[in-house]
Chains A and B, each alone.
Chain A
Amino acid sequence: MVHNKHVVGVLTTMNGWVFLSRTPHGDLFISRLIPCDSANPYQCTIFQILYYISALAARKIKLPERDGNGVRVTIPSASGSRPVAAPMVPGRGSVPPPPSTDDHSTGRMEYLPSIPPFRHHILEPWADIPEVVFEPWRAGNTLGPKTFLLTLVPDETVVVAKMWDGYKELPNERDNEASIYLRLSSLWNTVVPRLIGCAQIDFLISLLIERIEVILHIWFV
């Protein structure tokens, strides 16, 4: 990965898969071993993870390794004939940093201020574009095939996100739905949930609406 300046990578064995991600200055993040037959509905399947990793890899972002001063460094290739210690990035301590206590994935949100064809409707822009915590593998966070709960940080607001696969779809459906929500803005918080905004979260085209506590059994009273 370092030699080819790749950001993400995959290791696989007969029994499982491990996914890797590099950050600058010699940090390598490694997922737990995910069994080939992973089918827990609250976890991702291998196919879903490969889909996600492929989307990240398709961005073709190159990440050359740099030392502590930001100078690009060349790491020698491993020897194929004898075992040697893994090379270190110059200027980096030999003691690895403690693992982060954060176990969530984050995605950067992109605020889209106007949605055609109603360009005169502009939602209140975020002063600081929030980041999101998106954990679809956690119980209760998946509400439907493309509807999830996610958290906006830093204010920890839980919202409902409807997501379309940006790999395969244009944002037309999202934009149509957003324009309808804007048309119905006088009904927000009463018979229609409030539209929070539109966003691009990684490769997911997203529509964010407020979360509403509801019950269903009343249908059968």
Chain B
Amino acid sequence: MDDEVSKNVKDAFAQIHALGVIHGDVRRQNIMVREDKSVVIIDFESGVYHENLSDVMIKEENDEIERVFKEVRHEGSSGLRAKGQDH
């Protein structure tokens, strides 16, 4: 998986967390990648706002992001490919 994309994903979630929001449904389908490798996070149906977001909550979501990375790396190395889609 592209390092720049994974860095952009982490940065995007960090910006979201900085505004007090937990996404709550981190999945590959909810992380869109533009041609310039910038990312867009979608689907905030399970999102929650906390005035004071705790480190534990942020860590839990970051663990989910790492899980998605691992999943993508695994599928990439085993030759699986995702179908293209918009959202």
Q: Which of chain A's residues has its CB closest to B81's CB?
A: A220
Contact between chains at A192 and B35 (CB < 8 Å) = no
How many residue pairs link A and B with beta carbons under 8 A? The number is 103
Contact between chains at A215 and B40 (CB < 8 Å) = no
Choose among B15, B76, B81 the residue that contacts A191 (Cβ–Cβ < 8 A). Answer: B15
Given contacts A184-B21, A212-B40, A218-B2, A143 and B49 within 8 Å (CB-CB): no
Contact between chains at B49 and A180 (CB < 8 Å) = yes
The CA of A143 and the CA of B15, in the complex, are separated in Å by 26
A179 within 8 A of B: yes
The CA of A160 and the CA of B42, in the complex, are separated in Å by 11
B5 within 8 A of A: yes
A173 within 8 A of B: yes
Q: Which of chain A's residues has its CB closest to B87's CB?
A: A143
Count of residues in B whose CB is under 8 Å from the partner chain: 38
B58 within 8 A of A: no
A149 within 8 A of B: yes
The CA of A147 and the CA of B87, in the complex, are separated in Å by 8
Q: Which of chain A's residues has its CB closest to B80's CB?
A: A220
Q: Could you tell me the distance in whole angstroms from the C-beta of B44 to the nearest C-beta in chain A?
A: 4
B57 within 8 A of A: no
**Chain B residues whose CB sits within 8 angstroms of the CB of A220 once the complex forms:** 1, 72, 75-76, 81-82
B67 within 8 A of A: no
A217 within 8 A of B: yes
Q: Which of chain B's residues has its CB closest to A160's CB?
A: B87
Contact between chains at A214 and B32 (CB < 8 Å) = yes
The CA of A107 and the CA of B79, in the complex, are separated in Å by 44
Q: Which of chain B's residues has its CB closest to A211's CB?
A: B86
The CA of A215 and the CA of B44, in the complex, are separated in Å by 20
Contact between chains at A186 and B41 (CB < 8 Å) = no
Choose among A180, A193, A212 the residue that contacts B21 (Cβ–Cβ < 8 A). Answer: A180
Given contacts A180-B44, A217-B81, A219-B72, A191 and B49 within 8 Å (CB-CB): no
Given contacts A176-B47, A219-B76, A192 and B86 within 8 Å (CB-CB): no
Contact between chains at A216 and B76 (CB < 8 Å) = no
Per the 8 Å Cβ criterion, residues 187-210 of A in contact with B are 187, 190-193, 209
A155 within 8 A of B: no
The CA of A184 and the CA of B15, in the complex, are separated in Å by 9
| 6 closest cross-chain pairs (CB), A and B | A180-B47, A191-B12, A214-B32, A180-B44, A221-B2, A220-B76
A147-B87, A217-B84 given; name 5 further pairs at CB < 8 Å: A160-B86, A162-B43, A180-B44, A214-B40, A219-B28
Interface residue ranges, B against A (CB under 8 Å): 1-2, 5, 11-12, 15-16, 19-21, 28-29, 32-35, 37-45, 47-49, 72, 75-76, 81-87
Q: Could you name 14 residue pairs across A and B whose Cβ atoms are closer than 8 Å?
A: A149-B86, A180-B49, A187-B15, A191-B12, A191-B40, A192-B42, A209-B42, A214-B32, A215-B35, A216-B83, A216-B85, A217-B81, A220-B1, A220-B81
